[in-house]
Amino acid sequence: MSVTIHRHGDILIAIADNPPVNALSAPVRLELKAAIEQAAGDASIRAVVIACAGRTFFAGADITEFGKPPVEPLLPELVDMIEGSDKPVVAAIHGTALGGGCEVAIASHYRITVPSAKLGTPEVKLGLLPGAGGTQRLPRLAGVAVALELVAKGDPIPASVAKDVGIVDRLAGETSLLDDAIAYAREVADIRPLPRASQRPLSPDPEAVAAFERANARRFRGFEAPAANIACVVKATGTPYAEGVEFERQQFMKLMFGVQSAAQRHIFFAERKASKIDGIADDVAQRPIARVGIIGAGTMGGGIAMNFLSAGIPVTIVEMQQDALDRGTATIRRNYDATAAKGRMTAQQVDRAMALLTPTLSLQDLSDADLVIEAVYEEMSVKQDIFGKLDAICKPGAILASNTSYLDIDVIAAATKRPQDVLGLHFFSPANVMKLLEIVRGAATADDVLATAMALSKKIRKVAVIAGVCHGFIGNRMLEPRQVEAMKLLLEGATPEQVDRVHVDFGMPMGPFQMADLAGVDIGWHRDPNRIESIRDALAAEGRWGQKKQAGFYDYDDRRTASNSPRVAEIIEDFRRKTGTPQHEITDQEIVERTLYPMVNEGAKILAEGKAQRASDIDVVWIYGYGWPVYRGGPMFWADTEGLKKIVEGLDRHGFDVAPLLREKAEQGGRFTS
Ligand code: 3H9
């Protein structure tokens, strides 16, 4: 049974139990319907309480049912039936009442929640909208402005806020929800007419809509679902519920069968799958991590440290020189203060985080660390030296990690006598902001070390993916062919602006040259201004190192606003002449084929070599590490939607060495993702 029915005198209590998150799967819907019918048919019942067992109230419709043949009763019917009940229905909420769960709650006549509960409609994050009356009832309960925030942005709100805006009626005791809900049901049992959200009047509020659209235009760029959510809320104003809900249904179905929602649902499951490590049991014992050491207080080391400090884990940070250490510590403090200034942290939280930081000049101070992360510059001999020293200093069982972006973890591990304790933890810059963490599994890395790293990634709120040892791991390895090809396109007639525009139009936050300017044109440069073998060398030799020098592939003003650079155009032209590269008109489509298709190709090679566990992990890397548009589902999902045959034809046409796995899948009509 997914729903058990109890009686408490004249109150019928329906308790759903569908672990892990009480998704509103078909059996749950059917049995909830039966509960409402039972109450209607039993004269001795005066009111109904709907509650959930386990960790949460309904967290939404069952996403795994989407795209499959519908099973009655559908959620929209069920919520209308709940609201239509002649006997009052009280929703008793704990955990997270999300999506369809929130819709069940607002279709109920009364809502009581524990103070720790959250309510929200995150469907937009799955490329959808609340399709069971949510877009119609929420504005009627909370007003247009609040409803827009909830449905079009999808962030849940705490119970206290939900109460303030009229979505929740009453707060229960944290441990007495059911008793309080039963008492509430008894209290309201005879009140008529029943408060039905769908029947409340709602006036149009064009100003609120316009202000909301203006404020969020950037955030919604490229996404289809936010506009559909907004349209539904607008429809709710001045339109009877029946008409509005019909419109909502049409919009929901359109989104549901569109590519964007499929992509966003793919990423929802991909993110969760990424935490499963092949060949390691879920219950493998983990090593306790009570104290972390970080070597290097530069941008990377400082950013990494902030993740642990924010999670309440003490950090010892090591630098070689006092001034570098002071600078690093001051930067951490400044970043926290900036977060507090934006209202995202309190001054006390900042102080608490900073109090957990111990700056030092001595590696010896890492002797009691459970995990040490090395974040010094990319030079193998330096890393080997550090790991050799750590081997002598650190306690047995300590996990030793390198934040290297490219280097061979096995070679680094060989500098120690405990390669089983060594792995890569590759954070992405800025490390306190970017969600991605590549956990690099060395040949000897022990299972419990990997499992510990994966569990820790959740504690510091990262999305982690397991990568094998190879140059650049998953993300940077795929970036390389894109950057190489982008440079070739410049020589053949494209401009940096055109290449970047194509990527931004595709949905990336920036294009290859904008990214180079942000990261630093001088990164990896040989530092000899007389050795000019590429456009990049020429830029670096002239001090055009990117944004930090206000000149790179673009010119920048004091506010870092980019403009096209006549000097860069000259340098490119000069190189075209010098290399005698034939010119042709480069279309936007050619840029897509030559910069994005090779990424898919590299992804296929990574998969075939077992350097990524699954195609969806590659998608997670690109969504969370590089800002690939989530509505395109990551490079491998996108390749599936483009059609692998088309990708292979494009790669062949441009003379690429096509990965055998990609060719094979294309020939067999296969896909990378399910
Ligand atoms: C909707 O409601 C549409 C309606 O408006 C209209 C319909 C007509 N379904 O995240 P976790 C699985 S759309 C099926 O690791 P947490 C998840 O895959 C829905 N499965 O836990 C995972 O499986 P596994 C709107 C679901 O504690 C396991 O549960 N609702 C669903 O970190 C644990 O998940 C949402 O978008 C689902 N709805 O976070 C809410 N949800 O163990 C989506 C989860 O095999 N869910 N699973 O990997 C969440 O945001 C989080 O899961 C939640 C718990 C906050 C609830």
167 and 30 share one domain: yes
Same-domain check for residues 120 and 231: yes
DSSP code, position 124? G
Q: Is the CB of 20 under 6 A from ligand 1?
A: yes
313 and 238 both lie in a single domain? no
pLDDT digits (tens, 9 = 90+) for 370-428: 999 999 989 999 999 999 999 999 999 999 999 999 999 999 999 999 999 999 999 99
CB atoms within 10 A of CB 174: 11
User: Which residue is closest in CA terms to ligand 1's atom 19?
Assistant: 60
The pLDDT assigned to 365 comes to 98
| 274 pocket-lining for ligand 1 (C-beta < 6 Å) | no
* Number of the ligand 1 atom closest to the C-alpha atom of 268: 18
The catalytic residues are 103, 123
In angstroms, the CA 395 to CA 371 distance is: 10
3-state secondary structure of 206: helix
- Same structural domain, 298 and 426: yes
The whole-number pLDDT of residue 575 equals 94
Q: What is the pLDDT of residue 283?
A: 86
Classified as helix, coil or strand, 626 is: helix
Distance of CA 557 to the CA centre of its chain: 32
Residue 282 lies in a domain: no
* Statement to judge: residues 235 and 272 lie in one domain: no
Provide the number of structural domains found in the chain. Answer: 4
- pLDDT of 1 over the 90 cut: no
Q: Are 289 and 425 in contact (CB under 8 A)?
A: no
Q: Is 282 in the pocket of ligand 1 (CB under 6 A)?
A: no
Ligand 1 center from residue 126 Cα (angstroms): 10
Does residue 98's CB lie within 6 angstroms of at least one atom of ligand 1?
yes
210 shares a domain with 66? yes
Q: Using one digit for the tens of pLDDT, what is the confidence trace for 12-40?
A: 999 999 999 999 999 999 999 999 999 99
Closest ligand 1 atom, residue 20 Cα: 29
**CATH code, domain carrying 508:** 1.10.1040.50
Q: Examine the fold and report which residue of 582, 597, 631 is the final residue of a domain before the chain moves on.
A: 582
Q: What is the pLDDT of residue 593?
A: 98
pLDDT for the residue 170: 98
Other C-beta atoms closer than 10 Å to the C-beta of 230 total 23
- Mean pLDDT (whole number) for 511-525: 93
Nearest atom in ligand 1 to 74's CA: 8
Query: 671: closest CA among 262, 194, 113, 390?
Result: 262
Give me the chain's average pLDDT, please. 97
Other residues' Cβ atoms within 10 Å of the Cβ of residue 333: 15
Which of 18, 52, 57, 63 maximizes ligand 1 atoms within 8 Å of its Cβ, making it the mutation to test the pocket? 63
pLDDT in tens, 197-220: 999 999 999 999 999 999 999 999
What is the number of alpha carbons within 13 Å of residue 74 lying toward its C-beta? 10
pLDDT digits (tens, 9 = 90+) for 337-381: 999 999 999 999 999 999 999 999 999 999 999 999 999 989 999
Q: Please determine, for residue 589, whether its predicted confidence score (pLDDT) is greater than 90.
A: yes
Alpha-carbon distance 487 to 481, whole Å?
10
The verdict on 459 and 515 lying in the same domain is no
**Three-class DSSP category at 90:** strand
**CA dist list (Å): 318 to 156, 300, 356, 363, 391:** 39, 13, 14, 6, 16
Compute the distance from residue 461 Cα to the ligand 1 centre, in Å: 17
pLDDT-above-70 percentage for the chain: 100
Q: How far is the CA of 620 from the centre of ligand 1 (A)?
A: 17
Residues 599 and 623 in one domain: yes
The count of other CB atoms within 10 Å of the CB of residue 273 is: 14
DSSP 8-state assignment for residue 24: B
Q: 305 and 192, same structural domain?
A: no
Dist. CA 521 → ligand 1 center (Å): 42
Domain of residue 351, residue span: 292-466
Pocket test for ligand 1, best of 18, 21, 58, 123 (most atoms within 8 A of CB): 21
Phi, psi of 271 (to 5 degrees): -60, -40
Q: Does the residue 520 lie in any domain?
A: yes
CA-based nearest residue to 613, from 330, 279, 373: 279
The reply to whether 253 falls in a domain is no
Check residue 354 and give its pLDDT.
Answer: 98
Secondary structure class of 397 (helix, strand, coil): coil
pLDDT at 674: 87
The finding on whether 63 has its CB within 6 A of some atom of ligand 1 is yes
| CA 669 – CA 588 distance, rounded (Å) | 27
Whether residues 410 and 351 fall in one domain? yes
pLDDT tens-digit map of 62-114: 999 998 899 999 999 999 999 999 999 999 999 999 999 999 999 999 999 99
CB 662, CB 604: distance < 8 Å: yes
Which amino acid is present at 51?
A
CATH label of the domain that carries residue 229: 3.90.226.10
What is the pLDDT, as a whole number, of residue 510? 96
* Pocket lining: 138 vs ligand 1, CB cutoff 6 Å: no
- Closest ligand 1 atom to residue 76 Cα is 8
For residue 287, pLDDT beyond 90: yes
Nearest residue (CA) to ligand 1, atom 4? 100
Which of the 8 DSSP states describes residue 150?
Answer: I
Question: Whose alpha carbon is nearest atom 24 of ligand 1?
Answer: 272
Residues 619/623/625/626 CA torsion (nearest 10 deg): 110
CA gap 458, 513 in Å, rounded:
33
Alpha helix (H) residue ranges in 257-346:
259-273, 299-310, 322-341
Is the CB of residue 130 below 6 angstroms from any atom belonging to ligand 1?
yes
Same structural domain, 547 and 480: no
| Cβ of residue 126 lying under 6 Å from some atom of ligand 1 | yes
Q: Is the CB of 59 under 6 A from ligand 1?
A: yes
Beta bridge partners of 279: none
Please indicate, yes or no, if residue 287 is contained in any of the structural domains: no
Is the minimum distance from the CB of 517 to ligand 1 under 6 angstroms? no
What's the pLDDT score for residue 654?
97
Residue-level pLDDT at 238: 85
Q: What pLDDT, in 10s, does the model give residues 520-537?
A: 999 889 999 999 999 999
Q: Which atom of ligand 1 has the smallest separation from the CA of 63?
A: 9
281 lies in some domain: no
Atom of ligand 1 nearest to the CA of 275: 48
Residue 247 is encoded by which pair of tokens?
């419109």
Q: Which atom of ligand 1 is nearest to the CA of 98?
A: 30
> Ligand 1 centre from 57 Cα, in Å?
12
Asked if residue 457 belongs to a domain, the reply is: yes
Domain-embedded: residue 285? no
Nearest CA to ligand 1 atom 15: 272
CB of 100 closer than 6 angstroms to any ligand 1 atom = yes
Query: Does residue 371 sit in the same domain as residue 426?
Result: yes
Is 122 close to ligand 1, i.e. is its CB under 6 Å away? yes
For 551-584, what is each residue's pLDDT tens digit?
999 999 999 999 999 999 999 999 999 999 999 9
- Evaluate whether 468 touches 612 at the Cβ level (below 8 Å): yes
CATH of the domain at 353: 3.40.50.720
Mean pLDDT of 464-471: 98
